[in-house]
Amino acid sequence: MNKLEVTLLPWAPRILSVLRVVTALLFFEHGLQKMVGFPPAPQPFPSPLPTMMLASGLLEFGGGLLMLVGLFTRPVAFILSGMMAIAYFLAHAPRGFFPILNGGELAIVYCFVFFYFFFAGGGAWSIDAALARRKTS
């Protein structure tokens, strides 16, 4: 291991937590927009929300909150990863093959970032990590 790797290695679990928090805040915002209309969408959502949009809003809102604090990170991340894969194939893939053209880049990025969290966990600054530390002491 070189000196840079030795210096950065202790920060990896913390930066994983930063990635989780930022991702969760952005994802939560999508749910908040669907659930309460804030921030206002460029094109307003229908009222009442169709079933699939309501379900996705609840998952984005609730899953975003759980990811934000790092509670049940792995199972929530797995569910959200699957949700984003489904969203891509239902809403974007029918519009064309290339994600840059069908508007699906964000769905793919969320899908794989959440899939990463499924394997990596929530990082050092998460409720999951605090509970694990408490359990071992």
Q: Supply the DSSP string of 10-72, one letter for each residue.
A: GGHHHHHHHHHHHHHHHHHHHHHHHHH--SPPSSPPPSSPPHHHHHHHHHHHHHHHHHHHTSS
Domain assignment of residue 53, given as a range: 3-136
pLDDT given for residue 137 in this prediction: 77
Q: What does each of the 137 residues of the chain score in pLDDT, given as a tens digit?
A: 899 889 999 999 999 999 999 999 999 999 999 988 889 888 887 777 789 889 999 999 999 999 999 999 999 999 999 999 999 999 999 999 999 999 999 999 999 999 999 999 999 999 999 999 999 87
pLDDT given for residue 123 in this prediction: 96
pTM for this entry: 0.92
The structural domain count of the chain equals 1
